[in-house]
Chains A and B, each alone.
Chain A
C-alpha cells in the first residue's frame, strides 16, 4: 500500500464559535452536505478506499445518522474517537494512531473544500522521495458581507511567510508573523544553497500534508510536538538545512529501525538505491555550485501552490459563507432536492439550493440562498443571500437578507433580518423589525 489517508475531524472551529458551539465544525452544513463530506469526497474521487477519521464521539454519532454520509461515502471509514477537551493537537492525534499507520500518510483537514488534482502533490512526494509535501493556494478575497459584524472589521491577519526556490516547488522557509519578532531572518546556508528564493505571503495553507512514515515514528518519540501545522512543518522545513551532524534524526531513526527488521523495508532500501542511481544519473535539481543533487540533503520538503481553482478552508464565518456560495457549484448539486415540496408560485433563483424534505409555500422568493433539510418556509417570505440550516421554521412575511440562520431556529412572523446571525434553536419574535447586523447566539 502506498498511502494511508487520515482525516482530522476533531477540530473545534475556534474561529467561528457562533456556528460551532452547538454543531461540531465537521458536521456544519455547506451546500446541504456536512463539511467533512468534501474532503472525503476528494479522497474517494482520487481512488482511496479507506480513510482513518479522527474525530469526537459527538461527530461520530452525527455521522452515523446523517444520510449523506451513509449513502454517498463508499470508502471504509475507520473512526477513531478522541477526547473533546481540545488539548489534543493534530500531531498528538497522529501519535495516538501510530499503531495503525503502516505506510506513508496523507493528512487532510475536515474543513478543506477543493478540487485540486491531488496527484500534483503526491507526485512531488513520490518523485523526489520527499519527507513532506503540502498544498497551498493563493488566497481569495472574500466578497460577501459577514453577518454579525458591523462594518468592515478587518481582523489583523497573521501572515504566513513562505519561501520557495526558483522552481516554485521546494519549500525553503516557513514562518508565521507571530513567531518573528522584528524581522525575517534567513540563514546564510540556505542562501548559499538556493540563492534565488521567492517569499510569498498571500497563500492559504490547505492543511493537506503527505508525510513519510518515518515522521510519524519520529513524532512518537518527540512528545513535545503537538500541532502539525504550527510546529511539525516549520521544524521539518528548518531541518532540511541543518548540519549533517545533527541531521535528520528522522531519517537515521528510520534506517536504524529498518535495519533491525530483516526485510529491507521500503524506506531504507529505497533511499540507498535512489542515491546509487542518482550517482549515475545526469540530473541535478540546481546548478551553479559544486554540490550534488539536493545538496546531498536527505530531508526534503515540497509544496504545490495552486494558482487557480477553488481551495477553501472553512474555519471562519466569512469562509463558511463563501464556501456555501461556491461549493454546490463545484459539485454540481441538484438545486432542488427531489423530496422537497415547493409550491408553484415560489420564485426560486437558479443558484439556490433546497435541501431534502423542505416545504416552501406560495409567494416566496428565494435567491442565492441555501436552505437546509426539513426547513419550513411559509408564505410571502423573501430570502436572499442567506444560509438557512436544517430544521428551521420561517413564518410568514419574513424578509431575510444576507444572514445565517442556524439549525432549529424559528423566525417569527414578519421578522426583518439583514446580515444577522441567528444561533441554534433561537427564536426571533414576530414583527421584529430592522434587525441589522445582529448576532444572536
Chain B
C-alpha cells in the first residue's frame, strides 16, 4: 500500500491517524485517498518529475491533507465550483503542491475537498496525457506561511477580455464534448469547431456555422457512422427537420434503421453492444445540433429497452421487439398524445375566439386544425419573429385548412393583444420547476399576455417533460448560426463583414424559458394541469417505469 518510496506515505499515515481522531467523516476520504494512491503507484512513472517539486512542498507543509480546494488558485485552468461540468483538474490533488496549511478543517471544507477530489479522479480517468504538461507549469503561488485559503482568482467567465482565458475556455469546451475516441467501440468522432465571436454571456455554449457541416471531416461513404444517422445529422444541421416532435420522430426512425441493419458481433451481447454502438451516433448528432429534451427522453427510453432485452433472446426476435417498442413509443407518446391534447384543447376553444399562436408548433397547428374540423368558429393571429420566420409555415398550414388568419411580427404583439381572447403556445420542454422552455420570444408573448390578462395555455406532451431545472435562459440554451441574422435588402448586405468589426457580436438564440406565473394552464395528454404540477407528473412517470 503506502510504500514503494512514496514520500507522502508517512504523511498519509499521519492523516489516517488524524482521521480516526477527527471522526467518521474522514474515513471515507481516507479510503478514497488510499484508492487513489494505488492508482498513482501505477502511474508513478509519469509523475516522477513532479516528485521533486512535490517533495519540497511536502516538506514545508507536513500535515496538510493536500486539499484540492485551496489548490484552486494555483491552477489557472478553471477549477470552478463543481457546478460546471467536470473541469480539467490536473490529476490528483496530491500531485501538485498544496498551498494551504490548515491544521483544522471544517466540515464544509472537507466536503469541498472531497468533491474536488472526486472531480479530479473523474477528470484523470478521461484525460491521462493531458495532465503532465499542465501539472508542470503549475507552480505554488501561495507563500508557505499562509494559513488561510489563497486569494480567490476571478472565475473565467468574467475575464472575457483576456484572450488566453478565452482560448483556454474554448479548449475546455472542446474537451467537454463527448470524448473523441470512444474506447468501447473504437470509433472516432471528429469535433466540430466553433464559428465566429461568441457573446460573452453565452461563451459556454457552442456556436456552429451551417456552412461547415460535420460531414466535412467524415469520409464518404460513411462507414463509421450509420448512413441513416449521417443523413439525419445533416438534416438537423441544415434545419430541414426542425421542431421538437419532428426531430424526435426522425431520430426514432433513424434508430429503427440502425437496429434493422445491426448484427451482433460474435462473443457480444445485443443488449450491451447495441447501446455502445449508439453512443457515437448520439454524440455525432449532438454535434450536428444539440439534442432537445424530447430527444433525450426518447434516447433514454430506447437504451432502457435495449438493456432490458434478456440475454437468451435470439437476435431476430430481439430486433423485432425493439422495433415494436419504438413504434409503440411514437404511437403513444406522439400521435395519440396529440389526439388527446386536441380533445382537451377543443373544450377550451369556444366560438368567436381569437387565438394567438407563436411560431410553428406542430402540436398547436394540429389542435387548431382539429378544432376547425369540429366546426368551432374562431380566427387565429400568427405571431412571427426573425430570423427563423417559422410563423410563415404555420400560416400556410392554417390557411390551407381554411382558417381565418392574421399575421404579425412580434414587435406588434402589444398592439394586437387587446383583440386576443386566448394564447396557445407550444413547448420544447417543460422543466421540473414549472418553467416552460420554448422558442425564443415565447416568454415575451406570455409576459405581454399576462399584462393584458389574456389566458396563456401551453400544449405539451408528457414525453417532453424534463428533470432539469433552470430559471433563466443563459445557463443552457442553443446558439444558432450567427450568419442567419444577415439579411440583404435592396442589394446591400450591411452585416456582411461583421467578423471584422472587433466590438460586434451576433447572437442568435434559439430557446428561452417562461416562468410559471405567466402560464395559466398546461394541456398534456394526461389532462389539463397547472404549471407547478410538472414534478408530480415526472414522479408518476418514474414510478410507472
Contacts and interface: CB of A to CB of B under 8 A. Distances in A.
B123 to A, nearest CB: 33
Nearest to A210: B220
B179 interface: no
Contacts of A280: 243, 245-246, 249, 362
B177 to A, nearest CB: 21
Interface stretch (B13-21, B386-394, B452-460): B386-394
Contact of A276 (B243, B249, B392): B249
Give the one of A106, A264, A277, A284 with max B CB within 10 A: A277
Contact of B253 (A123, A129, A276, A287): A276
Interface residues of A, number: 36
Given A1-B223, A2-B220, A119-B220, A283 B242 contact: yes
A266 B257 CA distance: 7
Contacts of A4: 221
Contacts of B230: 2, 126
Interface in A11-67: 46-49
A338 interface: no
Interface stretch (B43-51, B86-94, B231-239, B276-284): B231-239
B359 A282 contact: yes
Nearest to A285: B240
Nearest to A264: B260
- Consensus secondary structure, chain B interface: helix
Interface in B216-235: 216, 218-223, 227-228, 230-231, 234-235
A107 to B, nearest CB: 14
A276 B338 CA distance: 14
Contacts of A129: 231
A270 B253 CA distance: 8
B256 A283 contact: no
B190 interface: no
A229 B403 CA distance: 47
Nearest to A122: B220
Nearest to A287: B392
A273 interface: yes
B260 A127 contact: no
Nearest to A117: B216
A3 B220 contact: yes
A270 B232 CA distance: 11
A281 B240 CA distance: 7
B400 interface: yes
Contacts of A47: 218-221, 223
B228 A128 contact: no
Nearest to A1: B221
Contact of A119 (B216, B231, B250, B359): B216
B213 interface: yes
Contacts of B131: none
B246 A281 contact: yes
Contact of A282 (B227, B234, B242): B242
A197 interface: no
A46 B215 CA distance: 11
Contacts, number: 111
A181 interface: no
B396 A46 contact: no
A1 B230 CA distance: 12
Given A270-B228, A273-B249, A282-B394, A3 B215 contact: no
A139 to B, nearest CB: 25
A118 interface: yes
B431 interface: no
Contacts of A118: 220
B485 to A, nearest CB: 18
A334 interface: no
Interface in B350-402: 359-360, 362, 390, 392-394, 396, 399-400
Contacts of B256: 269, 273
Contacts of A126: 215, 227, 230-231, 234
B241 interface: yes
A4 B220 CA distance: 10
B228 A278 contact: no
Interface string A119-162: 10011001111000000000000000000000000000000000
B221 A277 contact: no
A263 interface: yes
Given A119-B213, A119-B220, A290-B399, A277 B231 contact: no
A46 B242 contact: no
A282 B393 contact: yes
Contact of A270 (B215, B240, B257, B360): B257
Nearest to B245: A280
A123 B393 contact: no
A277 B393 contact: no
B280 to A, nearest CB: 16
A347 to B, nearest CB: 43
A46 B219 contact: yes
B329 to A, nearest CB: 14
Contacts of B234: 123, 126-127
A263 B323 CA distance: 12
Contacts of A282: 242-243, 246, 359-360, 362, 390, 393-394
Contacts of A279: 246, 362
A117 B221 CA distance: 13
Contact of A277 (B250, B359, B399): B250
Nearest to A265: B260
A48 B219 CA distance: 8
A264 B250 CA distance: 16
A1 B223 CA distance: 7
Contacts of A48: 219-221
A224 B465 CA distance: 57
Contact of A127 (B219, B240, B394, B400): B240
Nearest to A127: B234
B219 A277 contact: no
Contacts of A49: 223
Contacts of B242: 281-283
Top 10 closest A-B pairs, CB basis? Answer: A47-B219, A282-B360, A273-B253, A2-B221, A281-B246, A2-B227, A280-B246, A280-B362, A277-B250, A3-B221
28 contacts: A1-B221, A2-B220, A3-B220, A48-B220, A49-B223, A106-B220, A117-B216, A122-B215, A126-B227, A127-B238, A127-B240, A270-B228, A270-B231, A273-B253, A273-B256, A276-B249, A277-B247, A278-B240, A281-B240, A281-B242, A281-B246, A281-B362, A282-B242, A282-B246, A282-B390, A283-B240, A290-B396, A290-B399
